[in-house]
Copies of this chain bind each other. A is one copy, B any other.
Amino acid sequence: MKSEKIGVAIVGYGNIGRYALEAIKASPDCELRGVVRRNPNDVPEELRSYSVVASLEQLSNVDVALLASPTRLVEQAARKALELGISTVDSFDIHGEIVSLRRSLDEVAKKTGRVAITAAGWDPGSDSVVRILMQAMVPQGITYTNFGPGMSMGHSVAAKSIPGVKDALSMTIPLGTSVHRRIVYVELEEGYDPDQVSASIKSDPYFVHDETHVIAVKCVADLKDVGHGVVMSRKGVSGCTHNQMLDFSMRINNPALTSQILVACARAATRLSPGCYTLPEIAPIDLLPGDREEWISKLV
């Protein structure tokens, strides 16, 4: 184990950034070297003792940058950090674009001799590790991933962008076998027809394939809760033996888990060869602090 702590920076200080601060403080081997945010003069109480800056190059001794920025800004932020010689961890969450982001970051990371860990949340992220492990244990069969009940960030943002919607909360309700119901709570702007807004939401690409209910409420903020969950089930064949049944489920605070995984990956980033990795490409033991043999004797 390195005697010196891993120097971590948080880039972006929204929900994930705040929880990342807590996870870094709770980690025995990590130390916050500063926070990068658009407005570095906006320094909340809990950041008073840290450097808050507008750009990553203003911080020193940073080994790994946790990119707690919106998914769409991840690639740009990661490339910039890697070019500064800083490894990165992000929670990019658009499943269909992970392969191409990984290729792009892999090239920069190898060129600069650093590590990028991408799609490091819980789905994509720890759920992906479980799906891959289940696939190896039971190579033939079907895996169902059932999300919720919990708030979907992506769907809430999509609903909020519909004309007439002042605020929105889209809840994901698992109906089993990877089928989900969406319940969208909306706060309407004055003068908009609820039925019209409901129809617009239901025809939006984010919602058009799912059973969607739209409910107008006075105050969306009163309903918000960051709890979430998942149930993943695989039933299938090992060798030529059928009916092998595997299940993974969790009930969690969403940003707290995401941030904890980001910090575990910051640690792993210091142990990997240069390149870009998704979570299932990392030996799980590299996510843990301290001595490998100790964990083997305790948990293997």
Contacts and interface: CB of A to CB of B under 8 A. Distances in A.
Mostly, the A contact residues are: helix
A1 to B, nearest CB: 16
Contact of A136 (B20, B251, B264, B297): B264
A257 B241 CA distance: 9
A157 interface: no
A293 B282 CA distance: 14
Contacts of A297: 96, 98-99
A133 B136 contact: no
A241 to B, nearest CB: 4
A137 B260 contact: yes
Nearest to A97: B297
Given A241-B256, A250-B247, A256-B244, A132 B98 contact: no
Contacts of A126: 133, 136-137
Given A133-B287, A246-B250, A239 B98 contact: no
A278 B259 contact: no
B283 A26 contact: no
Interface residues of A, number: 69
A295 interface: yes
A299 interface: yes
Contacts of A287: 132-133, 136
A178 to B, nearest CB: 13
Interface of A: 19-20, 22-23, 25-27, 95-96, 98-99, 102, 119, 122, 124, 126, 128-133, 135-140, 143, 237-241, 243-253, 256-257, 259-261, 263-264, 278-285, 287-288, 292-293, 295-297, 299-300
9 contacts: A26-B139, A26-B239, A119-B300, A122-B137, A129-B129, A135-B295, A239-B259, A245-B251, A278-B296
Given A102-B293, A243-B253, 9 more contacts: A22-B239, A95-B300, A137-B261, A238-B252, A238-B257, A244-B257, A246-B248, A280-B283, A280-B300
